[in-house]
Structure formats: C-alpha cells, structure tokens
C-alpha cells in the first residue's frame, strides 16, 4: 500500500501506534470492534477505522508538494481541500488562497487568475464548467489535481450508466462540492437527478408509479435535475450512485426501495432493464468508518466524542449513528473542551455550537468514552482531545504506560 509523505503536523504519538497495532493484527480489516486504551479512571474505546482515508492523504500530500515546488508562484485552492478547519488553516498559513467557498461562491474573480498561477483541485473534484474556465485561462488542471480516486470511480460509473441509456440518480446533498462535481460530470452523458434521502426517493417512487402527477416532479425536485430531464422518459431506466461521504446503508436503502418500485411496475423478468446494480460506487473508506461506528454501538459507555469539521458530511453521519445510543459531543478540536463541566459541541440538528455543562460524569470511579473522527480529521487532533481529557481528569495511568499495556494485550 502506498505510504504518503504528510507533514509532522498531522502525525500523532497515540493514535498512530494504535492504528499500527490494528493493521498488524487485522490486515484484512475483518474485525470492526474498537480498541481499548485504559488510563485507570478513564477508558477510551477508539474506533477501528477513522481519520484520514486514501483520498485525503493523497490530497494533502499533493498540496504540500505544490507548495514546495512553487516557492515563487501564487498558489490557489479551488475551494477547501477537505472539510477540516485545521487542515485548511495550515494550508492558508503557507500562502494558499481559496478561489471559492464551500457553497461555490466566488471569493477571487476568475479574471484575477493567470496561467502562471498554480491551482489545486480539491479532493471533492471540480465541475466540468470550472475545468473549462481554468483551461481557457491556461492553468494546468492535471498537475495538482487531488480529486479522490473513489469520486472519479463514481464519475466513471455514471458515464457507463449514461452510455447504457440509464438516468443517473445521485444520493447526495445538493450543495455539497462533491455532489456538484458529480452532477456536472454525469449530466454530460445522462439525465441526472439528485436525491437527498429516502423520503425524496419515496416521492420519486410515487411519481414513477403514477401515484403523484408527473407535473409535481418539477416542483418537488426544482433545481435538482439536469436540463431537459423528462420524467416520463428518463425514469424508465435508472441507476443510483452516491456522494461518497453519505451513509452507505442509506444509499443501499434508496436503491433497494427504487428496485422494489421498478419490480412493481415492470416485473421480475424485466427488472435488469430498468435499474442497474451500482453497489460498486460505495467508497470503501466511508463504508469502513461507518461499519466501525456500528462496532462502537455494541459497547457500553458514558459518552461519545466525534472529532472533525462541522461542515464535514461523513463526520456528521458518524454523529447521527452514535447519538442513537450515547450522549454525543461533536467537536472540532481540544479547544472546545473548557473544563470537566464545560464543552462546546456542534448540534447537527440546529447547526449551532452549543455549550454543555454536563460533560464528564463526576460520581463514577471509571468513565468510559467512545471516540472517533471523520475522514478529514488529522490523528493529531484526536490525540489532542484525548490528552486534554487526561490532563483535566488527572488520570493515574500515563500515556506511555497505557500504550505499553495495550501492546501487551
């Protein structure tokens, strides 16, 4: 497996050792149970899979390579490299500027970009339209293109669906950079529609089965379909692909539901002519992280902490899973932990940072904490959270001793 060159800023003394041990013990990733680090008064259940995936490590390596190789040039990122504030802040500290924000709003006019500038394409990819603008300016869009290969895999699958006369249904968030890019690339070869969730898929199913007037399609899905999309024709053959950071089981649930709709309308004998098998578009890293989170749900713990950027889709989904069982705090870094009685946590439902005065239980001899992070969160940030809690609780077992005990298990 490729080893990436990532700055020391992203390394960690705790998590890296735990991950290395799991890699040796479970090279085929068959065991999704968490690792346990015991500090006496505090026990951490650490997710089997979390943190940087292949696509993120690749993007970061290429970005720092661009900085090193172009000391005299202006360097731009099309938008945020990944959805993590620490990563993006570190890149901007090296002089990198963002051309757009995460919603696609222009921060630097295209006219201010020249062919002498370096433009890095983020891990989410770029739309066909933006690539065309950059090429017209004279920017090399290939040299520092960090588009995740699993995102490109979705694009390639969409192209094949289009060549086979299928319409492409994207399970994703409409305004997410990756969804915008996938939509743009897919519509070149096929009619395209974006579905946010199963509720929207069920409404689409009612349109396909004639339970809802076909005219309602244009109102309900306004702004979420490609130009010229004709539901009378373009919903006869479909294939579902996903924004790679969405919950894999939700994508499969949507696919299974729409397959049942097609079975209802066209029958078992004809089903292959109406819905494609697209399970191959699911991202292995997102799938592993989510499966490992289900492994965390099998444990008993006092609370859960998810670390990552608040605008990170894959991190938000981890919070959604864990809060079904645990009191769950979503924080971007150790700075959100003020004391044992105060933590600032992002509420994924209100979209606001809220202060909680009930954090670490006081009347327990041993407190058990679930901890994980999103695919765009450096292990060093998770390390910082663990160390902050250990310092505040004055845990009796040192990090060195806990790691030694862990390796002797």
> What structural domains does the chain harbor?
8-52+285-408 (3.40.1010.20), 54-137 (3.40.50.11270), 149-282 (3.40.1010.20)
Are 192 and 183 in contact, with CB atoms under 8 Å apart?
Answer: yes
Catalytic residue chosen out of the listed positions 178, 200, 250, 336: 178
Q: Above 90 in pLDDT, residue 55?
A: no
pLDDT bucket at 29, cuts 50 / 70 / 90: confident
Q: What is the pLDDT of residue 290?
A: 86
Q: What is the pLDDT of residue 6?
A: 64
- For the question of residue 300 being annotated catalytic, the response is no
List, for residues 342-385, the tens digit of each pLDDT value: 999 999 999 999 999 989 998 899 999 999 998 888 899 999 99
Q: What is the pLDDT of residue 28?
A: 87
Q: What is the pLDDT of residue 1?
A: 46
What value does the mean pLDDT take over residues 27-51?
Answer: 94
Rounded CA separation 144/319 (Å): 32
Least confidently predicted of 1-5, 91-95, 233-237, 306-310: 1-5
Q: In terms of residues, how long is the chain? A: 409
Q: Above 60 in pLDDT, residue 199?
A: yes
Rounded CA separation 338/283 (Å): 36
Higher pLDDT, 123 or 408: 123
Q: What is the pLDDT of residue 146?
A: 93
Q: Above 90 in pLDDT, residue 3?
A: no
Question: What percentage of the chain has pLDDT greater than the value 70?
Answer: 97
pTM value surpassing 0.85? no
| Secondary structure of the chain in HEC code, one letter for each residue | CCCCCCCHHHCCCCHHHHHHHHHHHCCCCCCCCCEEEECCCEEEEECCCCCCCHHHHHHHHHHHHHHHHCCCCCEEECCCCCCCHHHHHHHHHCCCEECECCCCCECCCHHHCCCCCEEEECCCCCCHHHHHHHHHHCCCCCCCECCCHHHHHHHHHHHHHHHCCCEEEEECCCCCHHHHHHHHHHCCCCCEEEECCHHHHHHHHHHHCCCCCCCHHHHHCCCCECCCCCHHHHCCCEEEEECCCCCHHHHHHHHHHHHHHHHHHHCHHHHHHCECCCHHHCCHHHHHHHHHHHHHHCCCCCEEEEECCCCCHHHHHHHHHHCCCCCEEEECCHHHEEECCEEEEEECCCCEEEEECCCCCCCCCCEEEEEEECCCCCHHHHHHHHHHHHHHHCCCCCHHHHHHHHHHC
pLDDT bucket at 262, cuts 50 / 70 / 90: very high
Q: What is the pLDDT of residue 5?
A: 63
What value does the mean pLDDT take over residues 200-217?
Answer: 97
Q: What is the pLDDT of residue 2?
A: 54
Q: What is the pLDDT of residue 325?
A: 98
Candidates 68, 93, 69, 70; CA nearest to 81 is: 93
What value does the mean pLDDT take over residues 1-29?
Answer: 79
Mean pLDDT of the chain: 92
């Amino acid at each position: 497996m490729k080893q990436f060159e990532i700055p020391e800023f992203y390394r960690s003394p705790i998590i890296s050792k735990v991950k290395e041990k799991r890699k040796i013990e479970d090279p085929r990733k068959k065991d999704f149970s968490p690792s346990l680090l015991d500090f006496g008064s505090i026990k951490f259940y650490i997710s089997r899979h979390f943190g940087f995936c292949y696509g993120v490590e690749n993007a970061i390596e290429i970005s720092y390579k661009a900085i090193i190789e172009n000391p005299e040039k202006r360097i731009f990122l099309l938008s945020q490299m990944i959805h993590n504030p620490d990563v993006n802040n570190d890149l901007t500290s090296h002089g990198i500027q963002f051309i757009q924000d995460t919603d696609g709003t222009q921060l630097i006019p295209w006219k201010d970009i020249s062919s002498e500038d370096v433009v890095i394409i983020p891990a989410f990819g770029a739309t066909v339209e933006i690539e065309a603008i950059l090429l017209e300016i004279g920017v090399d869009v290939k040299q520092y293109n960090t588009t995740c290969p699993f995102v490109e895999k979705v694009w390639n699958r969409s192209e094949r669906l289009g060549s086979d006369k299928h319409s492409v249904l994207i399970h994703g968030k409409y305004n997410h950079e990756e969804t915008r890019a996938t939509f743009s690339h897919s519509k070149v070869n096929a009619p395209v529609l974006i579905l946010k969730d199963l509720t929207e898929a069920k409404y689409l199913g009612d349109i396909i089965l004639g339970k809802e007037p076909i005219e309602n399609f244009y109102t309900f899905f306004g702004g979420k379909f490609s130009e010229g999309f004709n539901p009378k024709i373009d919903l006869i053959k479909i294939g579902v692909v996903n924004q790679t950071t969405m919950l894999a089981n939700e994508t499969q649930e949507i696919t299974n539901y729409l397959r049942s709709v097609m079975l209802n309308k066209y029958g078992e004998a004809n089903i292959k002519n109406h819905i494609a098998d697209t399970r191959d578009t699911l991202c292995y890293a997102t799938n592993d992280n989510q499966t490992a989170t289900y492994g965390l749900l099998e444990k008993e713990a006092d609370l859960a902490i998810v670390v990552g950027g608040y605008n990170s889709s894959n991190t938000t989904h981890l919070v959604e899973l864990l809060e079904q069982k645990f009191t769950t705090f979503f924080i971007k870094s150790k700075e959100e932990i003020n004391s044992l009685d105060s933590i600032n946590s992002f509420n994924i439902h209100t979209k606001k940072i809220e202060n909680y005065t009930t954090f670490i239980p006081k009347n327990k001899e041993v407190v058990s904490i679930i901890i994980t992070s999103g695919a765009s969160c450096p292990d060093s940030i998770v390390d910082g959270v663990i160390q902050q809690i250990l310092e505040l609780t004055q845990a009796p077992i040192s990090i060195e001793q806990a790691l030694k005990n862990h390796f002797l298990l």
